[in-house]
Structure 1
Amino acid sequence: MRAKVETIRIDGLPVRLHTAASAGRVRSDVAPTVVLVHGIGMSHRSFARSQCALATTHRTVSVDLPGFGGLPGAGRTLSMAELGDLVVSAVRARGADDLVLVGQSMGAQVVTEAARQHPGVVGSVVLVSPVIPVERRSLPLVASDLFRDGAGEGFRMNGVLVTDYVRSVRQYVRELRPMLRYRLEETIAEVRRPVLVVRGTDDPIVRRDWAVGVAARAPRGSFVELPGPHHVQERQPVAFARLVGEFRRSHAAQDIR
């Protein structure tokens, strides 16, 4: 399934959108739109397999943030609040107003901010491997955890990790401090939409008790584990897509009642 790729500018910042849906319905009124947001150093490629699986039943948009995925950098540090607003503004600029936000790793922080700021257009939120556990918020600890995770990611994902990191190094360095300082355990309590936290059972970066705690702090939170490492959405793309679809449908039915 080939995605439609376009780069747009929001307040001068470049955002690349990779849009895919069944039967090529990338510009139709298919609702909701599943928006996929990568982690620090990464790109849309970290959602390549899961987007293909999701696009069989949903309109999907995988995002490249400024400075990542080969895009020019912002030239400055961007806060999670700025990135969250940027994601929603970019997707809405292409006609999507009913959103399921899916963020992985640092992307979980971004979509949490997006949902907090734009509750009127967000139907539900999925946090995949959300970072960072309170006791791990230092650069040496994060680096150690990333190294350990690489051993379990597999050849393809490690290839994506290395090449994406190399081409995003400048923005990567700028975003490290906001990522390390972000208090997800506090801001998630302000998200009133349904929240699903997904963790890979073999993830050395996101501990189970932390992930369970994030789900518990969300007013409408739930928690699920799938077999796999930090990028579990790519290790289990079909199961992950099914999980997102079932989560969205169950809460949509509850909201109708």
Structure 2
Amino acid sequence: MPERLLAPEGIPADIGEFTHAGATLVHEDFGEGSKPIVLLHGIGMGRSVYLDLTTHLHGRVIGLDLPGFGEAPEPERVLTMERHADLVAAFLRTRGIHDAIVLGHSMGSQIAAEIAVRHPEVVSALVLAGPTVNSASRSIRAQAGYLLWDLLHERPQVLWRGAREYLRGGPNLLTKMKATIVHRPENAYPRVGVPVLVVRGQRDPLAPMTWCQEIVDMVPDARFAEIPDHGHGTLISDSGGAAATIRDFVRSI
């Protein structure tokens, strides 16, 4: 049975696994209210990296471990961003959710965009935090270099949580990274029909300002926020500023 990681003590949580089309995710669902915030993590991560963020969020929150990450079992074959989107959408439909605010960090932002395009019936808004993959740097070497540079300047909490989750990422981590690189989120963004908030840390090399501005220009209804003195892990530690920005966005839609 998956562990309780995000839900505060005293608040009931529904924790378990969901399988669709041969792939399994782990879910942790707690809190109440409409427009639940669904947390999608980045490459090599898991829902545990949102421990700090969830202390600042209100209402219903659903944290996911995507297949082969966190506590979720390794799939038989690595999922594309589109197959990830189909899996998450199937999970939301089984829960009767049609108004999710899908918050995707890094790789999760790519999946979030695909959910909004392929399964608009389950989504009411998107938050794209540290969105990848920069169309001008679409290679594993470039992305790994940016990630290393970012890690050298990150807070200790980000390094510790990130290192632990990467070790749990399994033997196919490189193949999983390739799946993010070959995906072209710029093909999805113009077709997103819900409000979008693009969030970047001021020092995030994986989501440069030029790329974030491209996304804002491509999405019909998008706004932008930058979190000062943060890198790619802006939602992982000291996330109060990002959470306040997200709460304001949620109230406005």
Is TM (by shorter chain) over 0.5?
yes
1:1-257 aligned at under 5 Å gives the runs: 1-2=8-9, 3-21=13-31, 25=32, 30-54=33-57, 57-227=58-228, 228-251=230-253
Instruction: Give the C-alpha shift of residue 98 in structure 1.
Output: 1.5
Note the alpha carbon deviations across 1:192-240, whole angstroms, 9 max, x for none: 1111110000112211111111111101111110121101112342222
> Can you give the 5+ residue segments of structure 2 that lack an aligned partner in the other structure?
1-7
Contact 1:102 1:128 in 2 (8 A): yes
Note the alpha carbon deviations across 1:161-190, whole angstroms, 9 max, x for none: 111111113342222222111112221111
Instruction: Give the C-alpha shift of residue 130 in structure 1.
Output: 0.4
Contact 2:37 2:100 in 1 (8 A): yes
Contact 1:184 1:214 in 2 (8 A): no
Q: For the residues of structure 2 that align with 1:96 and 1:155, how far apart are their CA atoms?
A: 36
Q: For the residues of structure 1 that align with 2:106 and 2:52, how far apart are their CA atoms?
A: 17
3-state DSSP class of the match of 1:134?
Answer: coil
Q: Which amino acid aligns with 2:227?
A: L
Q: Which amino acid aligns with 1:13?
A: A
Q: Higher helix share goes to which structure?
A: 1
Q: For the residues of structure 2 that align with 1:19 and 1:152, how far apart are their CA atoms?
A: 33
Q: Which moved more, 1:221-230 or 1:234-243?
A: 234-243
Q: For the residues of structure 2 that align with 1:43 and 1:226, how far apart are their CA atoms?
A: 22
TM-score, normalisation: structure 1: 0.89
Q: For the residues of structure 2 that align with 1:233 and 1:96, how far apart are their CA atoms?
A: 24
Q: For the residues of structure 1 that align with 2:188 and 2:238, how far apart are their CA atoms?
A: 28
Note the alpha carbon deviations across 1:32-59, whole angstroms, 9 max, x for none: 11000001110002211112211xx210
Q: Which amino acid aligns with 1:244?
A: I
Instruction: Give the C-alpha shift of residue 67 in structure 1.
Output: 0.4
Contact 1:70 1:168 in 2 (8 A): no
- Identity %, equivalent residues: 30
3-state DSSP class of the match of 2:25?
Answer: strand
Note the alpha carbon deviations across 1:119-176, whole angstroms, 9 max, x for none: 1221100100001112211111111111111122211111111111111133422222
Q: For the residues of structure 1 that align with 2:237 and 2:156, how far apart are their CA atoms?
A: 11
Q: For the residues of structure 1 that align with 2:169 and 2:61, how far apart are their CA atoms?
A: 24
Q: What residue number does 1:255 align with? A: none
Q: Which moved more, 1:231-240 or 1:105-114?
A: 231-240
Contact 1:35 1:99 in 2 (8 A): yes
Contact 2:235 2:242 in 1 (8 A): yes
Q: Which moved more, 1:92-101 or 1:66-75?
A: 92-101
Contact 1:19 1:61 in 2 (8 A): yes
Q: Which moved more, 1:238-247 or 1:112-121?
A: 238-247
Paired residues in the alignment total 242
Runs of 4 or more above 6 Å deviation: none
Instruction: Give the C-alpha shift of residue 97 in structure 1.
Output: 2.4
Q: For the residues of structure 2 that align with 1:7 and 1:238, how far apart are their CA atoms?
A: 29
Instruction: Give the C-alpha shift of residue 72 in structure 1.
Output: 1.5
TM-score, normalisation: structure 2: 0.90
3-state DSSP class of the match of 1:192?
Answer: coil
Contact 1:128 1:198 in 2 (8 A): yes
